[in-house]
Amino acid sequence: MSAATILQELEAVSKAAVDELKRVTNEEALLAWRTTYLGKNAVVVKAFSSLGALPTDERPLVGQGANRVKAALESAYNERAQALKESALIQSLGAQALDVTLPGRPRNRGRLHPDTLILRELLQIFGDMGFQVFQSREVETDEYNFQLLNFPLGHPARDMQDTYFLDVPNRGDNPLVLRTHTSPGQIRAMREIASLNPSNPPPVRVIVPGMVFRYEQVDVRHETQFDQLEGLAIGEGITFSDLKGTLTDMARRLFGPSARARFRASYFPFTEPSAEFDIQCFQCHGKGCGVCGGGWLEIGGSGMVHPVVLANGGYDPARYTGFAFGFGVQRIAMLRYGINDIRYFWENDLRFLEQF
């Protein structure tokens, strides 16, 4: 057989093979096809064994032709095999599984808790005013939680804060407690800052955010744990006006430029004078509505730091004065977002959390 004849035959077989492959619809027919066109008796395979009988100068031409056809048939085979495999998969899953018009499944995205959102806003507000965050411990001693804050043992004001005591024996008059307020952070911050220069203590501008714990009956307004934000400023010549200015500015930045703050005389052992502070209702602007009742919203407690507390913190009350305030972070979040039940905060109910 001449080289020209062999090449012609290869061409014809290749064309026939490709045509036939198009009609192959199952695996059995596919295997038969491979035996016919790529098996040991296939034309293309025989073309290689006939090379030896050809004149030397014609061998490369036929060899290249046979290689080309063989590669083309192999790739056609692989393509068809893949297509058959896919269509078999589709059939086994049923048409429904590959309905491309079905909407995709939404991916759930995490988001910040309303408490975190408000806390970050508050940290920003006080950060702008020059306050630094001071973190204090959640397990406290009676000494720091009460005694150093001018609540001596047996003081009736201790009844204002129902306390969790830790079951640690032999601590006498200084049991461990879960802090009932962030105020022990006042003493810790003062002592830490005063220790930098005990004879001439530097001024203090700190806020102490954190979880506090009370042995409370849980209801819409009370939880056994909640976040407080404490503020403390100590220096020479600090007056009650500074306190009013600071909290009024906070109110404006939280609730808008027309927000007003109001101070009502009160009593706390660690401040003198003491005042509760309210913010004018942002809904009704003082007229009275369902949110506020009388036009004002109670926010927290404040006052000038008691001389005993200043001295306990390492600051000479004859030289230094200061103010302190504290309020519930959830209280602010409830007002801002119109949340009417404090229990939502820790229930982890997605219907609630997804609204923020």
Give min distance, CB of 285 to Zn ion, in A: 8
Nearer to Zn ion, 169 or 338 (CB): 338
Q: What is the largest CA-CA distance in the chain?
A: 122
Give min distance, CB of 264 to Zn ion, in A: 17
Nearer to Zn ion, 177 or 292 (CB): 292
HEC assignment per residue over 91-114: HHHCHHHHCCCCCCCCCCCCCCCH
| Cα 48 from Cα 39, distance rounded (Å) | 13
Give min distance, CB of 291 to Zn ion, in A: 5
Give min distance, CB of 262 to Zn ion, in A: 13
| Residue of 204, 161, 160 whose CA lies nearest to 185 | 204
Instruction: Count Cβ neighbours within 10 Å for each residue of 279-301 and write b for 16 or more, e otherwise.
Output: bbbbbeeeeeeeebeebbbbbbb
Nearer to Zn ion, 97 or 289 (CB): 289
Nearer to Zn ion, 151 or 277 (CB): 277
Q: Collapsing DSSP states into helix, strand and coil, what is residue 230? A: strand
Pairing mode, if any, of strands 139-141 and 176-178? Answer: antiparallel
DSSP bridge pairs for 268: 271
Nearer to Zn ion, 232 or 292 (CB): 292
Interface ranges with Zn ion (CB under 5 A): 281, 283-284, 289, 291-292
| Cα 310 from Cα 132, distance rounded (Å) | 19
Give min distance, CB of 259 to Zn ion, in A: 12
Nearer to Zn ion, 237 or 290 (CB): 290
Q: Which residue's beta carbon is nearest to the bound Zn ion?
A: 281
182, 208 in Cβ contact below 8 A?
Answer: yes
C-alpha 216: how far from chain center: 29
Give min distance, CB of 298 to Zn ion, in A: 12
CA distances from 299 to 86, 105, 162, 285, 292 (A): 66, 43, 20, 16, 11
Nearer to Zn ion, 304 or 334 (CB): 334
Give min distance, CB of 260 to Zn ion, in A: 12
Nearer to Zn ion, 178 or 279 (CB): 279
Give min distance, CB of 278 to Zn ion, in A: 11
Nearer to Zn ion, 193 or 297 (CB): 297
Cα-based torsion angle of the residue sequence 325, 331, 333, 338 in order, rounded to the nearest 10 degrees: -140
Q: Residue 269: is the preceding peptide bond cis (ω within 30°)?
A: no
Angle, helix 240-255 to helix 114-128, in steps of 10 degrees: 130
Give min distance, CB of 341 to Zn ion, in A: 18
> What one-character-per-residue DSSP string does 58-84 give?
GHHHHHHHHHHHHHHHHHHHHHHHHHH
